[in-house]
Amino acid sequence: MQQPDPPHTIPGHIAPHIPADVYQQVDGRPVVIIQTPAPAPARSIRKWAMPLAIGLAGAAGVLGLVAAAVAVFDYAARTAAFIGSTTGPIGLGLSLKLFQSKNK
């Protein structure tokens, strides 16, 4: 009965199988077995596309929040400028009258 060939990558520190005729040819001399590692499989698109999509979605969300904050601040500044310009001298006179010193 013929034994199947051992797998190409053997886990751990176990040496691969040496055929009997080669072992007898060695006749007690030291043997060096070189076992090259299996090539690493290429990363699939799904492995790097998902983190990239999550990162881009997070960046777009932060950009949207910043844009909304800037729009709110711009609206508040324009509203304050409009109210200040419509009150004109009446508003300035009232402000001076309200905020003057009380201990004369």
**pLDDT level of residue 65 (50, 70, 90 thresholds):** very high
At 43 the pLDDT is 75
CA 36/CA 38 separation, integer angstroms: 6
Predicted structure pTM score: 0.45
Question: Dihedral sign, CA of 70, 76, 80, 82?
Answer: positive
26-38 pLDDT tens trace = 877 887 777 778 7
How far apart are alpha carbons 2 and 41 in whole angstroms? 32
